[in-house]
A and B are shown apart, each in its own frame.
Chain A
Amino acid sequence: DAGITQSPRHKVTETGTPVTLRCHQTENHRYMYWYRQDPGHGLRLIHYSYGVKDTDKGEVSDGYSVSRSKTEDFLLTLESATSSQTSVYFCAIRPGLPKDTQYFGPGTRLTVL
């Protein structure tokens, strides 16, 4: 158990509304990631963070922003949700050496109507 929680676990919203998803970790790991999972695409990287206030874009960052004001929290915001952002969102952390791999949270299922 890597101590990762995501909230909410499920959300239904309407097109044009802002949405914020939260990823919380309990072990102060430096690296955190946001992915989306869609059929036929596997997981694709949205944004990542390598420290407090240090973030960068992934492959599919358009329409998303992130913030990390504390080590333990990494927020993903959809400023104006669209139906194409209906997906399952996963947060991941990477402890660094020697456990230099990624561990995933339980996911948030977001539906944009």
Chain B
Amino acid sequence: GDSVTQMEGPVTLSEEAFLTINCTYTATGYPSLFWYVQYPGEGLQLLLKATKADDKGSNKGFEATYRKETTSFHLEKGSVQVSDSAVYFCALRAYRNTGFQKLVFGTGTRLLVSP
């Protein structure tokens, strides 16, 4: 079945460091891919998305490129800030036989950025 695998956390970085959070997926067909972010005490917010191979999603300095050949969608940011501390979820959009659309999430990666 469809699944998403994320790197284990927490990821601990100093401010202005380069960030990579790895995400790989298993799916039939060509799913859309998403990164969501969850700040402490809040719900999930859509950070970026990509709908087809080689698409690059970007938002707030974060980027991720849909790599079909490696089934990956790694999240990157060139210079993290303390305010980026949160939990990041990779997800794919899958469809049931009924046509119903659902999201399949990874387990989340906690990012801690220190000043």
- Cross-chain contact B43 with A42 (CB below 8 angstroms): no
Cα A56 to Cα B99 with chains together (Å): 13
B43 adjacent to A105 (CB under 8 Å): yes
A residues less than 8 Å from B36 (CB atoms): 104
Contact present for A106 and B42 (CB under 8 Å): yes
Q: Are A45 and B46 in contact (CB under 8 A)?
A: no
Chain B, interface size: which category?
20 to 34
CA gap between A106 and B39 in the complex, in Å: 10
Smallest distance from the beta carbon of B56 to chain A beta carbons, Å?
17
How many residue pairs between the two chains, A and B, have CB atoms under 8 Å in the bound complex? 44
Report whether B44 and A56 are in contact in the complex, using a CB–CB cutoff of 8 Å. no
User: CB within 8 A of B46: which of A44, A48, A103?
Assistant: A103
Query: Which chain A positions have C-beta within 8 A of B98?
Result: 56
Question: For residues 51 through 93 of chain A, which have their beta carbon under 8 Å from a beta carbon of chain B?
Answer: 56, 58, 90
Question: B interface vs A, CB < 8 Å?
Answer: 4, 34, 36, 42-46, 49, 89, 93, 98, 100-103, 105-108
Which A residues have a C-beta under 8 Å from some C-beta of B? 4, 31, 33, 40-45, 48, 50, 56, 58, 90, 94, 100-107
* 12 more CB-based (< 8 A) A-B contacts, given A42-B108, A104-B44, A107-B43: A42-B89, A43-B44, A43-B89, A45-B102, A94-B101, A100-B101, A101-B46, A101-B49, A101-B93, A103-B46, A104-B43, A104-B45
